[in-house]
Structure 1
Amino acid sequence: MIPIRQSLAVSMSGLMITQDRFCHLIGQTYDAAVGQEEWSAVLGHLLTAIGGICVALSRHGGPTSGTIAVGCDPACLQQYESHYHRIDPIRPLLPRQPSGSAFDDRALVPGRDLVRTEFYNDFLARWGMHGALSWHIEEPQGQVATLKIVRSRRHTSFGDDELRLLRGLAPHLGRAQRIERRLRQGIAVRPRGSSPALTRRERECLCRIARGASSKAIARQLALSAHTVDEYVESAMRKLRTGNRTEAVAVALGLGLLDAEAPKIQENR
């Protein structure tokens, strides 16, 4: 678990976001995963924070497949999906990056090389695009998600602050994708009538895990030991017949076991 305030301790003076707002953005990411927020709203806030002309989250291989975009002309997305993805020089390099990582596209294909390509001149330049920050994750089950934040030539290049912010959000984006996917799968296969009985403490711990909190953070919030928190979580996992924490959260949310208890936690400390 990333200590948010420590990870953002370096100056963020060039960004349109404070540390508190970034913590709030993390909370909104989990809200989107459980259906309490629109992904387009989360992407819009991220675009405002980092700066750019558009942002898109593309997902494939599961119940959440599709593209959600803010600031992108639908015709641009259609052209990319129908043709230009085939000649995108960055796309085939994404699987070579560590899954769940965030990076500047120019680290994969240098700008001097990219501007010579057909992809840049016939597609990116035509739509006013010049550089992008990306986040990419590939799950063992075959699900793939890619986030791109795009700037035009009129903007300055992405810097360390922007990349640091996206890297700070990256693990939460990945966890949110898994929660949303498993939640949808859980709704489809588990009837509400078969809900196991979770104790209040078990529900409290799962609620906080859904918002990205670690066992240590939950222990501080509930005045318990981290060992006791782990015991509550493991007990909930056994009752829900799940193999890990993320799946336990998704199944519990799908069964409606956490709705009434969901805490309004906006940061992970």
Structure 2
Amino acid sequence: MYLGAKQTNLLGQIMQTLAEPHEEKEIREIMGDLVMQLLGAQYYASFVWQPGSLSFAQPIQINMDPMNLRAYESYYQFHDPITPMMQRYQVAVRATDVLPMEALQKTEFFNDFLNKDGLYWGVNLYAWHQGQNLGDMRIWRDKRRDNFTADELRLLDMLQPAFVTALARAQRSQTSESMTLNYLSQRLTSREQDTARLLMLGMTDKEIARALDISTTTVRTHLENAFRKVGVNNRAALVHKLRP
């Protein structure tokens, strides 16, 4: 597999992005732009599988009509002849690997959904982790270009482990943050929560007082109440207890 200077540079940017701490949505957005450049593609969408409702949600799109994507969420994903089969793969897979183009062109899905945005040649990559589908990348070209090659599929497969790791890390971080906020809301008053959050940002008593428009004495009272409710004796211990 030969990679030109531009592709090599893009691969470096992608791996750097996946190594950095980003939110889950940001990862899928940034990857869309970079992977489109890497593969010379024109369209991108990404979803997260919802096992409870057996549907795809949380869409991200590049160069696609948002209204058309909403139509996918509400209707076309339930009349999609290719994605359920592609989702079974744990490697990059082309639309034509699961359904010949001649057959796809005869479907409502192609004529009323894909064709509306000019999507013709497609490849999907799914991020599977411990039996859970964390997200996907759906990359498309129009019919003026060629189908994706075996080398391009291998490029995507090379990225998959880092993509999965990045999404799993972001998901853990979001879960930890959610648990922390829930812990705060259950035990502390709203003012005590605000004071504790600002303390966790490294702010001094005076800075917290200015930010909340209260006195420094009140700040200390809120912190002492938080110590007692959380079961710690000092500021450092409170931050350690509450930080994800």
TM-score, reference length from structure 2: 0.64
Higher RCO (CA-CA < 8 Å; seq separation 6+):
1
1:60 and 2:49 matched? yes
Matched with 1:110 is 100
Question: How has the CA–CA distance of structure 1 residues 34 and 85 changed in structure 2, closer, same or farther, with 3 Å as cutoff?
Answer: closer
Structure 2: distance between partners of 1:33 and 1:183 = 10
What secondary structure does 1:26 align onto? helix
* Deviation at residue 255 of structure 1 after TM alignment: 4.1
1:163 and 2:153 matched? yes
What secondary structure does 1:134 align onto? strand
Question: How has the CA–CA distance of structure 1 residues 74 and 122 changed in structure 2, closer, same or farther, with 3 Å as cutoff?
Answer: same
Q: CA RMSD of the aligned region, Å? A: 2.9
Instruction: Report if aligned partners of 1:95, 1:138 keep a CA contact under 8 Å in 2.
Output: no
Instruction: Report if aligned partners of 2:95, 2:122 keep a CA contact under 8 Å in 1.
Output: yes
Q: Which structure is larger by alpha-carbon Rg, 1 or 2? A: 2
1:40 and 2:29 matched? yes
* Deviation at residue 161 of structure 1 after TM alignment: 3.0
Question: How has the CA–CA distance of structure 1 residues 50 and 255 changed in structure 2, closer, same or farther, with 3 Å as cutoff?
Answer: farther
Question: How has the CA–CA distance of structure 1 residues 28 and 89 changed in structure 2, closer, same or farther, with 3 Å as cutoff?
Answer: same
What secondary structure does 2:138 align onto? strand
* Deviation at residue 139 of structure 1 after TM alignment: 4.2
Identity of aligned residues (%): 23
Matched with 2:54 is none
Instruction: Report if aligned partners of 1:52, 1:150 keep a CA contact under 8 Å in 2.
Output: yes
1:124 and 2:114 matched? yes
* Deviation at residue 143 of structure 1 after TM alignment: 4.4
Matched with 1:94 is 86
Structure 2: distance between partners of 1:95 and 1:21 = 26
Amino acid at match of 1:77: L
Matched with 1:19 is 8
Amino acid at match of 1:11: Y
* Deviation at residue 23 of structure 1 after TM alignment: 2.3
Structure 1: distance between partners of 2:48 and 2:33 = 17
Matches for 1:203-218 after TM superposition, within 5 Å: none
Matches for 1:211-250 after TM superposition, within 5 Å: none
CA displacement, residues 19-55 of structure 1 (integer Å, 9 cap, x when unaligned): 24302211112326358x6642332121111122211
CA displacement, residues 169-223 of structure 1 (integer Å, 9 cap, x when unaligned): 11111111111101111122248xxxxxxxxxxxxxxxxxxxxxxxxxxxxxxxx
Instruction: Report if aligned partners of 1:61, 1:144 keep a CA contact under 8 Å in 2.
Output: no
* Deviation at residue 136 of structure 1 after TM alignment: 1.4
1:188 and 2:174 matched? no
CA displacement, residues 50-85 of structure 1 (integer Å, 9 cap, x when unaligned): 1222111211349xx612222221112111111111
Aligned pair count reads 181
Amino acid at match of 1:164: R
Structure with greater helix percent:
2
* Deviation at residue 163 of structure 1 after TM alignment: 1.5
* Deviation at residue 164 of structure 1 after TM alignment: 1.9
Instruction: Report if aligned partners of 2:126, 2:133 keep a CA contact under 8 Å in 1.
Output: no
Instruction: Report if aligned partners of 2:10, 2:34 keep a CA contact under 8 Å in 1.
Output: no
Structure 2: distance between partners of 1:131 and 1:141 = 28
Instruction: Report if aligned partners of 2:121, 2:146 keep a CA contact under 8 Å in 1.
Output: no
Matched with 2:67 is 75
